[in-house]
Structure 1
């Protein structure tokens, strides 16, 4: 019976359902309260005043997404986590429609998913390059001052035994990083990666050879596997700190890669000791 009903749905109706599932946005007041679904009442009123149907569509979704990101809802995820979740849900919906028999409908829904993923990646870039563009709860900003991209990258390279990168609850969806770094202009990329390299450097500086430094090293290795990211690394102001005549210890402490080479099982001066202390 359910399949008979779905067969009667028009393409615009199916597109609306798909986009609502991916972006967790509703233009109609939901019958049941779901903290994850954002009811955009003002946006809905604007769309209604324009005489348009109360349905999400590809030509409307960017406008609706901006309104969703520009608002703070109780219990809502921070912007980056929300967008990554949208990308993951797009992948899940893609798996569901893989078994569709109607080729025309399947092709249309696949096109919707491709555009949704592209839009999500675009706004992930915008948010990371301009962290203050979209509001978020003050408590979230205080708890997570570092770039959320660090946790995502670490989750991609962490092994089950690492216990690193999953504490924030954010996991990297398949293919997200490849799409994120593809065709991104160098200036924006360097703006996005500048705090990422700083965060990796800061975190690895805290650990010794007995600590969990390997996920951080793998994260750096993953980043430089993308040529544009490797270029962003050597363009970073701390790639080669000035003045260039500083001694080895100062260069190690102030440069980006220095802390990665600092990890050692040899005892060190208390000021530079990582954790756990090797003695």
Structure 2
């Protein structure tokens, strides 16, 4: 009887050890699977967001062949809103090449310039221009709203940027805006500074002047300098216009639809995994 009791106890102990080991192995497998799923989910979400950011500035056809770590299925829909504004919606489904998990999210792509004035004269004063064009009050309008701007305190080197935000004086030369054209206009915001267009300087695009409150800033357009598009100020300024200015809705429309001005944001409530 004693031997039988000992045998039963040994069998019970063996069962407990086996059950514990099995539970540990099962937990380890579940934990590994959970971690793998979590990593797949994070990776797919990041890949989706990266592709969405790229879609804002590059044609979709040139992006998908370059992706290797994930598979993408993209559906796009085009709309025309108020003021003939072109808006696109993208639905992106992403999965890793080996994994089964898929992440899906929708985005909307739209120009930073939401509306264009069509009856404004150059160097007019309009304190609400940022609200009309960008849906931002003057107080909340900053370089952070604009996609990838060149932010500087002078106009010495504008590189080939389309979006430029200057805090300070701006001297424009033929060299600094040589990349500006009717097909490639510039959005130039100058805050708290004087603006000078040197001779033989040709500027195409939109110039928004935000003068300082302590003094009236000055704009000088030298002879043979040209501005085509729109220059507008949020407060009174002093002007010395000896060159040529011409309002151009076509140039503003070209700027509005420029790839560098597009923004893309996720649509709330559209993200899910399956």
TM-score for both structures, normalised by structure 1? 0.27
Q: Which structure has the larger Rg?
A: 2
Hey, which of these two has a bigger chunk of strand by percent?
A: 2
Q: Return the structure number with greater relative CO, CA threshold 8 A, min gap 6.
A: 2
